[in-house]
Structures are given as structure tokens and as C-alpha cells.
Amino acid sequence: MKWVCIWLLVDILGLGGEPIEHQDVRPAVQHAIEVGNVAHYFGPDTDLAARIIECESEGKFTARSVTGATGIWQFTQGTWRWVAGKIDGPDDIERRKDPVASTKAAAWLAYEAGWHHWHCYPHVR
């Protein structure tokens, strides 16, 4: 039922794309998609974004890799500071755990610099 509501919201807002069906993703990933406003920032690429979130962090806002990448999008400190400077956002590295701030940064990174910045991209595209 939730995916129907998300699809309707995307359709009403004119974000386009196919219906967003994430019935096969973990509840934590679905929660991250909703809280992070992923459909707003990624529109027709929301499904790809969801697969990257699932692969990178399993939807855990506080996920941390052995290399120090953090959050649902697994930003390293250096990449976070670089992207935050480009989108005029605060470069506080703890904001990597904020699903909305990190999703906005991830959308900029994906569309301006390329999806290849995520380790999981080749596996989920």
C-alpha cells in the first residue's frame, strides 16, 4: 500500500517515472527512501537510488564502513565536504547521517559527477 501512495505523490508532483515498487527491499531501506525524500531528488531514478541505498547501507542512517564512509549513501568525509561545498550545504560531516541532507548531496553527485562514485553501482544498475 505504501508504494501506491509514493507513486501517487510522485505523479501528483509531476516527477514522472514508473510506479515505485519497492516491495522487495528491506523495511529499513523503504523507511530510508521515504524519510530521505528520495523520490523528490531522484524522480525516475528512484528505483536505482533505492538499490544503491540497499547495497551500500541496508538503509541504516548510521551505517559506517571500514573506510569510514557513513550514512545511507556512504559518503566519506572528503566526498561529503566536496559535495556540500558544491550545493552550498553545511559541510558538517555528521550530516552524512541525515537522510534528507545526504540524499540531496547524493542526487547532486549522481547527476553532476556520475553514479560511479558508489561502489555498488556496477552491481545494481
Question: Average of pLDDT values for 99-104?
Answer: 94
pTM exceeds 0.75 for this model: yes
Q: Report the phi/psi class of residue 122: left, alpha or beta, with left for phi > 0 and alpha for psi in -120 to 50.
A: alpha
Residue 111's domain comprises 2-124
**Residue 110 pLDDT exceeds 80:** yes
In our burial notation (b when 16+ CB lie closer than 10 A, e otherwise), range 25-62 reads: beebbbbbbeebebbbbbbebbbebbbbbbbbbebbbe
CATH code: domain of residue 56: 1.10.530.10
pLDDT at 71 (0 to 100): 96
pLDDT at 25 (0 to 100): 65
- Entry field: residues in the chain: 125
Express each pLDDT in 7-33 by its tens digit.
Answer: 433 443 444 444 344 445 689 999 999
**Residue 4 pLDDT exceeds 90:** no
Which of the pair, 37 or 3, is modelled with greater confidence? Answer: 37
Express each pLDDT in 37-91 by its tens digit.
Answer: 999 999 999 999 999 999 999 999 999 999 999 999 999 999 999 998 888 777 7
**How many domains is the chain built from?**
1
Q: How sure is the predictor about 124, in pLDDT bands with cuts at 50, 70 and 90?
A: very high
